[in-house]
């Protein structure tokens, strides 16, 4: 399998921001060590200098595409993670059905030992803000701003409302689409060392074309 070229969105001596393709792990698992975004970034940096290091700041689900931030040193990593609640992250999602124009979803999420996430009366609070961009007879295209970073929170909450994300085979098993139509397209944060505001946007994913 031919490996895709690393899509670098921003880079300096402290951080590197890249775009993750769909179906790619952010970090390794017990079963997969090399076919990951982390491995790609590490390989890229070590080609420049074998002593270069890379540190995980956050991650995206394997089936979600979009922006991922890595740190090049432990100081940058710690500062970013300590201030992650202040980072603004926005997603584009394509859901089935005609959603209301905008809203805020609040729920509590729990996770099973098999990594399945579900809503409960107790658990970790998850807050998702959404706004409908446009819709047709089948789908709604949403802009989503997550206030909390819970695992699968967007997927679970939208499915609970009856508007599953197109391609979500975990929470809507009948779905036959080849990809999960969820993309992290925007991020804004203060640089961990210079404190300069960093804003990064990616081009819209292909699935937006399903809603003309």
Measure Cα distances from 82 to 57, 89, 96, 190, 209 in Å. Answer: 10, 16, 36, 12, 37
Helices (H), the chain: 37-48, 74-82, 153-160
Question: Three-state secondary structure along 176-200?
Answer: CCCCCCEEEEEEEEECCCCCCEEEE
Catalytic site positions: 61
b/e map of 115-144 (b: 16 or more CB within 10 Å)?
eebbeeeeebebebebebbebeeebbbbbb
Please tell me whether residue 39 adopts helix, strand or coil conformation: helix
């Amino acid at each position: 399998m031919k490996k895709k070229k690393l899509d670098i969105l921003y880079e300096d001596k402290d951080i590197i921001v890249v775009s993750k393709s769909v179906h790619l792990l952010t970090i390794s698992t017990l079963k997969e060590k090399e076919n990951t975004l982390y491995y790609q970034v590490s390989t890229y940096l070590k080609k420049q200098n074998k002593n270069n290091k890379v540190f995980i700041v956050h991650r995206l689900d394997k089936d979600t595409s979009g922006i991922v931030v890595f740190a090049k040193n432990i100081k940058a990593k710690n500062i970013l993670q300590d201030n992650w609640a202040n980072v603004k992250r926005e997603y584009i999602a394509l859901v089935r059905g005609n959603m209301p124009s905008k809203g805020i979803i609040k729920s509590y999420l729990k996770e099973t030992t098999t990594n399945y996430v579900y809503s409960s009366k107790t658990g970790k609070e998850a807050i998702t803000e959404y706004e409908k961009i446009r819709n047709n007879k089948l789908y709604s295209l949403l802009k989503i701003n997550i206030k909390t970073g819970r695992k699968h929170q967007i997927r679970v909450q939208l499915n609970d409302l009856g508007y599953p994300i197109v391609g979500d085979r975990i929470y809507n098993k009948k779905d036959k689409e080849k990809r999960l139509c969820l993309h992290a397209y925007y991020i804004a944060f203060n640089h961990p060392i210079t404190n300069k505001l960093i804003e990064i946007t990616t081009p819209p994913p292909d699935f937006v074309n399903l809603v003309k």
